[in-house]
A and B are shown apart, each in its own frame.
Chain A
Amino acid sequence: MEASRNTHSSKFFGTDGITVRFGGLTALKDVSIGVGENEIRGLIGPNGAGKTTFFNVVTSYIPADSGDIFFQGESISHFKPNEIAERGIIRTFQRRGILPDLTALENVMTGCHRLMGDVRLWDICFRSKRYKLEEAEAIRRAKEALESVGILDIAEKGAEDLAFGQQTLVEIARSLVSNPKLLLLDEPAAGLSPSEREHLMGVLRMIASERGISLIIADHVMEFVMEICDNLTVLNFGEVLAEGSPTHIRQHKGVLEAYLGGGG
């Protein structure tokens, strides 16, 4: 056991024995996952298996009761959410964390925040040249990100008027604009039409292969996850049930039981 923990901490991203309890309920139990560079990892499991809880712990929205999280050799379990984002771990939300009152472009521009460090309050108040340059740069990056996910044409639309699938892409574009190293996507395919799903798959493959970003995708939609992921981790009642390639998982007995309710 100890040996396997050490291998995870030396990986690109890894968790070591994460345990989270909500009162009497153990939401995550001794979860150790290691993800390599450029890897697309699927995180699957029935409802309530702990997928979103896992994301919440990694991005520090809720504290782990025990265990540790490593990113590029550094322990990040004591950082605040925005500090974790600053290190390049960006997440999306199941409920779509878009900002309804802003346009799609402005939504994506909020993602530039960590790259916009040089401008001071003074620059902003008096619209200094430095401010204008930086704002123009943020707009350029945001447009580029919108284009790379294929929705540049809706840049000026209010985000709340967008279709759910477009909101998903806006959120992904916002994640991309800050040059992340690891993206955590919470149910990106949920509620999408088959053609939107197809488009999303192309976008995610591009992100991994062209930009060299690692992905962890938590989702219910099996054929989506099976097709796009290099490896899968199956959670069940907060525990890692199985780990391996999609073909391996497809034939895994315990997984079939958990999903089909094999009553075993």
Chain B
Amino acid sequence: MKGSRSKYMIQAGFLILLFCIPLVTNNYEQYIINLIFVNFLVCLGLAIILGFSGQFAFASAGFLGVGAYTAGLFMVRLGISYWPALLLSGFVTLVIAVLLATIGLRLRRYYLAITTISFTLCMRFFYVNAGKLTLGPSGFNIPHATLFGFNFNTDHRVYYIVLVVVLLFSVLSWNILRSKIGRAFMAIRDDEEAAAAASIDVKKYKLLAFAICGVLGGIAGGLYTQVLGRITPDEFGMLPILLHFVIVVLGGLGSFFGLMIATIIVTIIPELIRAFVEFQELLYGAIIVLIILVAPGGIYGLMLKYSPIRWREKLHGSVEKYS
């Protein structure tokens, strides 16, 4: 009992710390932190579908785009306020993810990867060329969110939207992953036949993984509109596909904690080398090669290997809580 109490204290302290971040940051730093949170949410979606359920689906950047454009267009075209637009971005992306999954479930490995990457790139072409609907290649500005007259017009204010929403969806995802659904995902990833033998409906859970990835990507897209203030089709092309993949691989496929650290590292790096921004893709590629050579398990793998604490029991020992 004492252990769980100190655990709650640590969690509460961590939360307070998160809420205090804007007190010590300037605008630019705050913008980067906002970006980290949004990246974390969308990469969580990719980690769930790729790392936990083992499907080679690289649609997270596509879902991010659908979410951002849904929220943005509903606000700009129909003038509805941000909050319902954010919900709609999650919902519309969910629908698109399920549609994509109906094709995706028939495909495996490289074919699924190619199909989902094509989906992302097709959506980008759509944003560029369907100018009458999407306002074309130069994108558009997004109005600020307001709540009871309070205008979220600075990076520091936007942070609180991002923080609350990302925390909420992270907790929900964490709960899902540490339940029978998470076990079913990992069972399917490790051995589809054995999973079916344990009476797990493989298709249903693969579809569910797509749906979760879609919702997280869509909501992240909705948040993205407020973080960036302006969206353009280029935000949702090949580069973010790579970016999300690098983060998930660096974190260690299928680990929550590794993903957090990886998101921070990979989001900050391009900002440190601003002068060489053309080399970003090269850098991402190099990181992937390096991880595969040096630490195939990513940050999570290194934690398992070198940490004095037995992380496996800590991270996967989901069961001691209720027994």
The judgment on whether A and B are partners is yes
| A contact residues vs B (CB 8 Å cutoff) | 59, 61, 80-82, 85-86, 90-93, 97-103, 105-106, 109-114, 116, 119, 121, 124-127, 131-132, 135-136, 138-140, 143, 156, 158, 174, 178
A/B interface sample: 25 pairs, CB < 8 A: A59-B197, A81-B196, A81-B197, A82-B201, A90-B197, A90-B199, A93-B197, A97-B194, A98-B194, A99-B187, A102-B183, A102-B186, A103-B313, A109-B180, A113-B184, A113-B200, A114-B199, A125-B172, A125-B176, A126-B172, A126-B175, A139-B322, A158-B312, A174-B198, A178-B198
B59 to nearest A CB, angstroms?
21
Contact A124–B190 (Cβ < 8 Å): no
**What is the distance, in angstroms, from A252's C-beta to the closest C-beta of chain B?**
32
From A85, A103, A105, contact of B199 by CB (8 A): A85
Min distance, Cβ A228 to any Cβ of chain B, angstroms? 22
The answer to whether A106 touches B183, judged by C-beta atoms less than 8 angstroms apart, is yes
8 closest cross-chain pairs (CB), A and B: A97-B194, A85-B199, A81-B196, A114-B199, A136-B322, A124-B179, A99-B190, A125-B172
B187 proximity list for chain A (CB < 8 A)? 99, 102, 110
Q: B residues near A, CB below 8 A?
A: 172, 175-176, 179-181, 183-184, 186-187, 190-191, 193-202, 254, 312-313, 316-319, 322-323
Q: A85-B197, A111-B198 are in contact. Are A139 and B323 (CB under 8 A)?
A: yes
Tell me the complex Cα distance, A237–B134, Å. Answer: 64
C-alpha gap A102/B184 in the complex (Å) = 11
In the complex, what's the smallest C-beta–C-beta distance from B301 to chain A, in angstroms?
Answer: 11
Residue contact A97 to B179, C-beta cutoff 8 Å: no
A160–chain B nearest beta-carbon distance, Å: 10
With A93-B193, A100-B190, A106-B183 in contact, do A86 and B199 touch (Cβ < 8 Å)? yes
In the bound assembly, the distance between CA atoms of A135 and B321 in angstroms comes to: 10
Q: A97-B191, A125-B172, A174-B198 are in contact. List 19 more A-B contacts (CB 8 A).
A: A81-B197, A82-B200, A85-B196, A85-B197, A93-B191, A99-B191, A99-B194, A101-B190, A105-B319, A110-B200, A112-B180, A119-B180, A121-B176, A124-B179, A125-B176, A126-B175, A139-B323, A143-B323, A158-B312
Would A109 and B183 count as touching, CB distance under 8 A? Answer: yes
Whole-angstrom CA separation of A135 from B202 in the bound complex: 21
What residue of chain A has the Cβ atom nearest to residue B181's Cβ?
A124
Cα separation A102 to B313 with both chains bound (whole Å): 10
* Nearest CB in chain B to that of A112: its residue: B180
Are B316 and A102 in contact, with the CB atoms below 8 A? yes
* Cα–Cα, bound, A98→B183 (Å): 12
Q: Roughly how many angstroms separate A97 CA and B313 CA in the complex, as a whole number? A: 21
A101 touches B254 (CB 8 A): yes
Residues of chain A within 8 A (CB-CB) of B317 are: 103, 156
- CB neighbours (8 Å) of B316 from chain A are 101-103, 106, 158
- CB within 8 Å for A124 and B175 given contacts A81-B196, A101-B186, A111-B198: yes
CB distance from A65 to the nearest CB of B (A): 20
Cα distance, A214 to B198, chains bound together (Å): 18
Chain A residues in 8 Å Cβ range of B193: 61, 81, 93, 97
A106 and B318 alpha carbons, distance in the complex (Å): 9
